[in-house]
């Protein structure tokens, strides 16, 4: 019984030694993992010297098609109070009965207005996906039943107004990556460039021409002097 007891104690000591060694190794690995996590999620996004921001979630959303860079008007740059930087350059404007694909057909004698522009993240870090531009048209080209929905805006010529509208990414340009989801927010990767179409939700008169349409950035988030900034077409 004595031999059995001593043998049991030796096994316990050897087992304790192995557990101690395993615990030490686990502790080292755990510390290394924490350190690696700190490097990966540093605010400046510099992981292992790459200088590229890393987001917690990399789920791609938005347009998956790619296209070459189109001809544009002069680019205009904007910076938000949060420090996000955007570049906008107009491509073209026009009218279409279905400017964003399958939409409800407008009444006879009317159509929808749209404009295409290039949206660029001008920074070397991800920025919030936002659509700063608004589409304006002469109020005289808006049907009577939608006149009260066509709103003038500060810093925009008095004869122009903007109807309810929405924007959609229609292509990724220059090999840009698609937007990524970061805890529910859609983010543009560093340097990403997209082709965006903005289209009215309400019809306009079918006599509206492309030359009648103007694109402005007027929201105080982008312009601090209460003046609309025109994004000129080529």
- Domains identified in the chain and CATH numbers: 66-230 (2.60.40)
Distance in angstroms (rounded) separating the CA atoms of residues 201 and 114 = 10
What pLDDT is stored for residue 64 in this prediction?
58
The secondary structure element, H or E, covering residue 5 is helix 2-40
Residue, of 10 and 90, whose pLDDT is higher: 90
The per-residue pLDDT for 61 is: 38
Closest CA to 181 of 50, 64, 37, 62: 62
User: In the predicted model, what is the mean pLDDT of residues 32-60?
Assistant: 33
Contact 185, 128 (CB under 8 A): yes
Q: Is the pLDDT of residue 142 over 70?
A: yes
What pLDDT sits at residue 105? Answer: 87
The predicted model gives 49-64 an average pLDDT of 35
As a whole number of angstroms, the distance between CA 65 and CA 175 comes to 10
Q: What's residue 135's pLDDT?
A: 98
Q: What is the pLDDT of residue 225?
A: 80
Distance CA 113, CA 73 (A): 19
pTM of the model: 0.72
**What's the confidence (pLDDT) of residue 6?**
38
Greater pLDDT, 31 or 183: 183
5 band by pLDDT with thresholds 50, 70 and 90: very low
Higher pLDDT, 55 or 232: 232
- Reported as a single tens digit per residue, the pLDDT across 30-39 is 444 433 332 3
């Amino acid at each position: 019984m004595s031999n059995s007891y001593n043998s049991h104690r030796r096994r316990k000591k050897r087992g304790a030694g192995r557990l101690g060694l395993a615990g030490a190794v686990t502790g080292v690995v755990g510390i290394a993992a924490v350190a690696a996590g700190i490097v990966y999620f540093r605010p400046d996004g510099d992981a292992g010297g790459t200088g590229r921001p890393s987001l917690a979630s990399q789920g791609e959303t938005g347009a998956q098609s790619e296209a070459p860079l189109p001809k544009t008007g002069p680019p205009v740059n904007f910076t938000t109070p949060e420090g996000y930087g955007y570049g906008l350059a107009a491509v073209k404007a026009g009218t279409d009965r279905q400017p964003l694909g399958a939409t409800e057909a407008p009444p006879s004698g009317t159509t929808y207005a749209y404009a295409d522009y290039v949206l660029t993240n001008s920074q070397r870090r991800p920025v919030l996906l936002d659509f700063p531009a608004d589409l304006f048209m002469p109020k005289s080209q808006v049907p009577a039943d939608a006149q009260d929905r066509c709103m003038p805006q500060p810093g925009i010529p008095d004869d122009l107004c903007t109807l309810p509208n929405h924007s959609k990414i229609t292509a990724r340009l220059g090999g840009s990556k698609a937007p990524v989801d970061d805890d529910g927010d859609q983010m543009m990767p560093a340097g990403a460039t997209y082709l965006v179409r903005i289209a009215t939700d309400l019809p306009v008169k079918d006599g509206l021409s492309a030359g009648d349409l103007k694109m402005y950035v007027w929201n105080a988030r982008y312009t601090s002097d209460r003046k609309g900034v025109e994004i000129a077409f080529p």
